[in-house]
Structure 1
Amino acid sequence: MRAIGLVRGENSVQTFDLPKPEITQPDEVLVRIKEVGLDGTDYNVVRYGPDMAPDKNRMVMGHEAVGIVEDIGGDVKSLVPGDIVSITVRRGCGICHPCLHNQSDMCMTGLFKERGIHKLDGFLSEYAVDQEQYMVKVPREMKHLAVLTEPVSIAEKGIDQIRIIQSRFPWTCPHPEHDFKSPDWGNCKTGLVVGAGPLGLLAASLLRLAQVNIMVADIVPDSHPKAGLVNYLGAKYVDTSDKSPRELMEYCEVHGGSVDILFEASGAASTALQLISYMARSSIYIMTGIPRDELNLNIDAGQVIRHMVKNNEVVVGSVNSNRSHFEKALLQMTRINLEFPELCQKILTDRVKFNDFQEAFTPKGPKFIKTVIEVDPWD
């Protein structure tokens, strides 16, 4: 079968032939891959080099996949050939309590592996085999958007963390039904999403579904499609190309109110760190971006710590997701598609055929948001 990835010692993405994977265990599932989405993680794998297993000389790329079940092992109960599936990314260490209880995204040892990212082949190939527990069934009517399941699951996990952590205190608005444990938890709250890329837009859509008053910040002009999609969500776009972190937070205070929720989805290390100094009292800040380059910043550490402690602020790193987040993501994507029917398709700006894969890794045009590689296009 054909695959796309990287070879040790070489710095260009290429195709290579591999044996078609076979089911060797009774709980395994063979999937014919249909589409694979690319994100910043994939581009960083190319830029900085793949994190291959020591005994491997090449790694298949891609971790955002949707495909069709072609065959199943004898013990598989929840899937049959023809089912559409999204596949989770992280494989647990098999040692720590979270990994042993289906929460490998919270691995305590750091000995996890990740498809297409860390020590394991990804899904940019014609076929893939994995265990049933990592396969999440996709409703047939969602197949054309299911390639977004993984990024939606990342946003869903981050929002899960917000609700869990902020439920430590009663909400202070006049409506007791707006506390973080209630279905209407987003009312009377203001959020700022930093970064209007795919993850930021999807996070903003989930927060809007929860009725959070949302602003989204990025450095593109108001005329960019990203800004248009922010407005489409009923959120407010903020061009920060001429604003410092302090000016951004002051702008939000004036135009949206005190920011209760910060969701960082840009990977811009300097901005991400400086925003801590301007968080509102009792607010929460979710960081999902992972900067790769070294950055030295002159910052008043004492002021940052004083600000956090005196104001009961929380800063949380949120990485990866688990099966439960994939399942929630698919439910939420149905809601997104009903409430914002144009969003997902407009995020998927670039579709590239498998044979034209090099186009997916070349510089993008000014209207670019996200690329999908069509391994085996839908009928």
Structure 2
Amino acid sequence: MRALTFAPGREGTLDVREVPDPERDKGELLVQGLALGICGTDRELAAAEYGWPPPGRERMIIGHESLGRVLETPEGSAFSPGDLVVGVVRRPDPVPCGACGRGEFDMCRNGRYTERGIKEIDGYAAERWSVEAGYAVRLDPSLESVGMLVEPASVVAKAWEQIERIGSRAWFEPRTVLVTGAGPIGLLAALLGRQRGLDVHVLDRAPEGLKSRLVHDLGGTYHSASSLTGLGGIKPDVIIECTGAGQLVIDAMTATAAVGMVCLCGLAAGGREHRVDAGVINRDIVLENDVIFGTVNANLRHFRDAAAALAKADSDWLERLITRRIPLDRALDAFAPAADDVKVVIDLTA
């Protein structure tokens, strides 16, 4: 079968190769790969910025934003051939740590977790793949063309879960959320905000165009800007920061309403310095009982929450998030971002 493989730590090794068919272990599903979403993580892996191959191997299959259809199931499985599924990315460490031992492997404490397509386990960029039934999530059939969005949506489903858990420390009825960044994570964060009945604002550098129309069609307000100045005095109850831009991160810390919350979902590049008045930030956070926290990855329940959220969303709106579909034999084209990209998808059947 064909698969998109690379040698972690070696730039320029990404290519489509013939690899052996997956061997389905006891308790695993055999799945026909349908599509794969590509994100910044995949591009960083291809650029040899990080990545860990399976023990004893040089190459591995990339890909963590999966979508497939079940071909075979283990005896007694809750799945059936023909089911539309996605695979969870992370697996708990073998020790396990306290968090992994309680099923909270997205909060692993010792870093010995593994991840499909990223760390020590083959990913989902293949014409066929296998997955443990306990790490697969069944999708509504309506998501057949957009189900690869479940993985990025799981990241923001976790973010919203954490926001609501932290908010429950006191009376919590947020009205306004500001999302910084209108990439897939930001737009999906906005979608889940609207599903919660919030007044949603999205800030992005892109001028009026597809991203602004997507926000407007959600019922949100789009701000074309690179900073938080000029937002018309908006003091959001929640900010979900999805850019990783250093100055935006710093500005967000003092931009919420009292008892506000800043959830950091973006990853900042190192090596850039910013002038910061730490005293002002400290006083604002302390005197207003604010919270700033980071979140990454997702658990099984977050995948399920994401699948449910997407099944409730407007299917045409979700389709518009996917700006390019690339056949597997031209998969490397998906790693060269275009100016108007939102989400690029590899068609594993073409």
- 1:173-184 equivalences under 5 Å are 179=173
Q: Which residue of 2 aligns with 1:234?
A: 219
Q: Distance between the aligned counterparts of 1:98 and 1:62, measured in 2?
A: 25
Q: Which residue of 1 aligns with 2:318?
A: 344
Consecutive unaligned residues of structure 1, counting only runs of 5 or more, are: 172-178, 180-185
Q: Distance between the aligned counterparts of 1:291 and 1:46, measured in 2?
A: 19
Shift in Å at residue 12 of structure 1? 4.2
Please say which of residues 201-210 and 90-99 is displaced more in the overlay. Answer: 90-99
Q: Distance between the aligned counterparts of 2:276 and 2:239, measured in 1?
A: 20
1:372 aligns with 2:345: yes
Q: Distance between the aligned counterparts of 1:49 and 1:259, measured in 2?
A: 35
1:353 aligns with 2:330: no
CA contact (8 A) 2:36 2:346 kept: yes
1:127 aligns with 2:128: yes
Aligned to 1:34, the other structure's residue is in SS state: strand
Q: Which residue of 2 aligns with 1:33?
A: 33
Runs of 4+ in 1 over 6 A off after TM superposition: none
Q: Which residue of 2 aligns with 1:2?
A: 2
Shift in Å at residue 334 of structure 1? 1.7
Q: Which residue of 1 aligns with 2:142?
A: 141
Please say which of residues 54-63 and 129-138 is displaced more in the overlay. Answer: 54-63
- 1:248-267 equivalences under 5 Å are 248=230, 251-253=231-233, 257-267=234-244
Q: Distance between the aligned counterparts of 2:63 and 2:14, measured in 1?
A: 12
Q: Distance between the aligned counterparts of 1:343 and 1:48, measured in 2?
A: 34
CA contact (8 A) 2:84 2:140 kept: yes
Aligned to 1:37, the other structure's residue is in SS state: strand
Consecutive unaligned residues of structure 2, counting only runs of 5 or more, are: none
Q: Distance between the aligned counterparts of 1:87 and 1:319, measured in 2?
A: 17
Shift in Å at residue 191 of structure 1? 0.8
Compute the TM-score of the two structures, normalised by the length of structure 2. Answer: 0.94
Q: Which residue of 1 aligns with 2:98?
A: 97
| 1:114-163 residue CA offsets vs partner (Å, 9 max, x unmatched) | 11122222111112122111111112222112111111111111011111
Q: Distance between the aligned counterparts of 1:149 and 1:269, measured in 2?
A: 27
CA, structure 1 residues 10+263, in 2 after alignment: closer, same or farther (shift >3 Å)?
closer
Aligned to 2:188, the other structure's residue is in SS state: helix
CA contact (8 A) 1:33 1:375 kept: yes
Please say which of residues 7-16 and 257-266 is displaced more in the overlay. Answer: 7-16
Q: Distance between the aligned counterparts of 1:232 and 1:45, measured in 2?
A: 34
Aligned to 1:316, the other structure's residue is in SS state: strand
Q: Distance between the aligned counterparts of 1:353 and 1:82, measured in 2?
A: 22
Aligned to 2:37, the other structure's residue is in SS state: strand
Q: Distance between the aligned counterparts of 1:40 and 1:10, measured in 2?
A: 15
Aligned to 2:254, the other structure's residue is in SS state: helix
The one-letter code sitting in structure 1 at the alignment partner of 2:324 is D
Please say which of residues 114-123 and 308-317 is displaced more in the overlay. Answer: 114-123
Q: Which residue of 1 aligns with 2:109?
A: 108
Instruction: Please provide the CA RMSD for this pair.
Output: 1.7
Q: Which residue of 1 aligns with 2:165?
A: 164
Aligned to 1:128, the other structure's residue is in SS state: strand
- 1:215-234 equivalences under 5 Å are 215-222=201-208, 224-234=209-219
Q: Distance between the aligned counterparts of 1:113 and 1:269, measured in 2?
A: 29
CA, structure 1 residues 202+252, in 2 after alignment: closer, same or farther (shift >3 Å)?
farther
| 1:64-93 residue CA offsets vs partner (Å, 9 max, x unmatched) | 00111122234x521122221111100111
Shift in Å at residue 325 of structure 1? 1.0
| 1:16-53 residue CA offsets vs partner (Å, 9 max, x unmatched) | 222111113x2111111110001121122223434113
The one-letter code sitting in structure 1 at the alignment partner of 2:91 is R
Q: Distance between the aligned counterparts of 1:50 and 1:300, measured in 2?
A: 33
CA contact (8 A) 1:50 1:59 kept: no
- 1:283-294 equivalences under 5 Å are 283-294=260-271
Q: Which residue of 2 aligns with 1:305?
A: 282
Q: Distance between the aligned counterparts of 1:216 and 1:141, measured in 2?
A: 27
Q: Distance between the aligned counterparts of 1:129 and 1:102, measured in 2?
A: 21
Shift in Å at residue 232 of structure 1? 1.0
The one-letter code sitting in structure 1 at the alignment partner of 2:332 is Q
Q: Which residue of 1 aligns with 2:247?
A: 270
CA contact (8 A) 1:36 1:62 kept: yes
CA contact (8 A) 1:66 1:85 kept: yes
Q: Distance between the aligned counterparts of 1:209 and 1:28, measured in 2?
A: 34
Matched residue pairs, number? 347
Aligned to 2:47, the other structure's residue is in SS state: helix
Q: Distance between the aligned counterparts of 2:113 and 2:91, measured in 1?
A: 6
Q: 2:306 aligns with which of 324, 329, 349?
A: 329
CA contact (8 A) 2:142 2:311 kept: no
CA contact (8 A) 1:154 1:319 kept: yes
The one-letter code sitting in structure 2 at the alignment partner of 1:45 is L
The one-letter code sitting in structure 2 at the alignment partner of 1:299 is V
Shift in Å at residue 332 of structure 1? 1.0
CA, structure 1 residues 55+295, in 2 after alignment: closer, same or farther (shift >3 Å)?
farther
